[in-house]
Structure 1
């Protein structure tokens, strides 16, 4: 059985709340799971202790059994110090979009014209 440690969404519309669960990877996201391992409430402040709660002992058990964490859960585990930090490469993430690049070029051209006029 392919096990995953993943998030199962709960809460009402526009008020998400997630359970961290150990589940068979073939089951639906919010479907049947084997064990609840914690919770994640993205509506709370990032520095709040209640935002992410994890049962580290049970998570370690499932990791030892071969369960693979999803990307978001892996980030929680990295922050908790259970898993080593992995390098993620997304070189295009920080680059502005096409319209923003055009605005920046127009602004730079306008600034260059202004400095030429003041120099004369």
Structure 2
């Protein structure tokens, strides 16, 4: 039984929202999962202003005072202990979940990067001319 950690879409059209779930590899994307580990909202959210939010900040390059613009964020909520358990048992994360786990420091390496692939993502170019020459002879 192959177990995967993947995203299951919950929302309607044009407003994505995902559950991070543990499911069998052959089950459908939106079928009932074995366990829900957390949620992921890929739409950038603007943080709400509080009493401690400054109105003006100093620009580090020019030194002038400018209006404060808060940084947008993508909301990720994840049960880290259960995620570590499933990774330890051998569950394989999908490419999207690898990126999320990489942001949280639970997965090493870049998402989608397999052995022998370089920066282009289309396979290794190491020894390409030698390999072609060997095939021709």
State the TM-score, normalized to the length of structure 2.
0.60
* Counterpart selection for 1:74 from 83, 98, 114: 98
Query: Does residue 40 of the first structure (1) align with residue 40 of the second (2)?
Result: yes
Question: Which protein is bigger by CA-based radius of gyration?
Answer: 1
How many positions carry a matched residue from both structures?
92
Q: Residues 56, 47 of structure 1: CA spacing in aligned structure 2 closer, same or farther, 3 A cutoff?
A: farther
After superposition, the CA RMSD in angstroms is 2.2
Question: How is 1:1-120 mapped onto 2 (pairs within 5 angstroms)?
Answer: 1-45=1-45, 47-48=72-73, 51-86=75-110, 88=113, 89-91=118-120
Higher percent of residues as helix: 1
Which blocks of at least 5 consecutive residues in structure 1 are unaligned? 94-120
> What TM-score do you get using the length of structure 1 for normalisation?
0.68
Unaligned runs of 5+ in 2: 46-70, 123-137
Structure 1 segments (4+ residues) deviating >3 Å: 86-90
